[in-house]
Structure 1
Amino acid sequence: MNQRMRLKPLFHPGRLLITPTTLASLRANGIPVISVALRHVTGDWGIVSGEDREQNDISINVGLRLLSIYRLPDGEKVWVITEWDRSQTTIQLADDTPVRHAPARQAGVRNWRPLPSLPGNSQWPC
């Protein structure tokens, strides 16, 4: 019995951004960027604490910031953060220097790239 699973997004991620180091790390681990984004928007919060998981579930309905954390095969952690107003979702390594989230027209965003379209739908263990 072959059944296709249909993933239902729980929220709109807004503009998708990724750091260059995160993109390189995902590629080195063979993880398609789109699979990270899909896990996040469908409510797979990864390895966040139980408290953060509950907060995310509440935040979907009341409009607060959302956080997912995924462990890559090489042990690095990837954070996925969606802003409270759903204007943007940032994918970054836990070790990346935090950058103030700002509209794209401001200079601080130059280190961020829009999420590329990559083929693939693989999952990886977390």
Structure 2
Amino acid sequence: MAHLYYYHQLTLEQQVQALKFSEEVRPEWQCYMVDFRGDVLRGLPLNPILQTGTVRVADSERAQLAKFHRAEIEFVVRHAIGDWSEMSPDECAANHLAIENGAPVISRYAVGDIAQVYVVTPADRLHTQVMVSLHAGSPRGVQ
């Protein structure tokens, strides 16, 4: 039985295998089918439902993510394709309405038990901000 994984979920060896399936797009913009032996069988495109514009992340935020061996692109991709699996149904519905009505879209992702990553795309869709909060609750400016 095969399983689907985001690029960041693959082992380093699997990431190398995945590169042969991602010649035309960044590897992060695909998910990968992996068989029971751990071999990458194919890449499947992730189709964004939201324009993110320029990605903004402060150097301090990027450094914080690096401590967790994570990168902002992982969260921006999930935000753009509508993967809000870590949010409540009400928050997911609010994001779908925000996309439809041209309002800000806010995503939240856990990084272990001690951090939350917030991804925010304002109504104009010109940029997307990535923020890291090391405590429960939302960072300043996110509501």
Residue number among 113, 116, 125 corresponding to 1:77 in the alignment: 116
Deviation (angstroms), 1:67: 0.7
TM-score, scaled relative to structure 2: 0.61
Alignment RMSD (CA, Å): 2.2
CA distance in 2, matches of 1:94, 1:21: 11
CA distance in 2, matches of 1:64, 1:17: 19
Residue number among 98, 110, 125 corresponding to 2:140 in the alignment: 98
TM-score, scaled relative to structure 1: 0.69
CA distance in 2, matches of 1:46, 1:84: 22
- Compare CA radii of gyration and give the structure with the larger one: 2
- SS of alignment partner, residue 23 of structure 1: helix
Sequence identity percentage: 24
Q: Give the number of the structure whose residues are more often helix, by fraction.
A: 2
Equivalent pairs, count: 100
- CA separation of 1:12 and 1:24: change in aligned 2, threshold 3 A: same
Q: Which residue of 1 aligns with 2:8?
A: none
Structure 1: runs of 5 or more not aligned: 100-126
Q: Give the number of the structure whose residues are more often strand, by fraction.
A: 2
Higher relative contact order (CA 8 A, sep 6+): 1
Amino acid in the other structure paired with 2:80: V
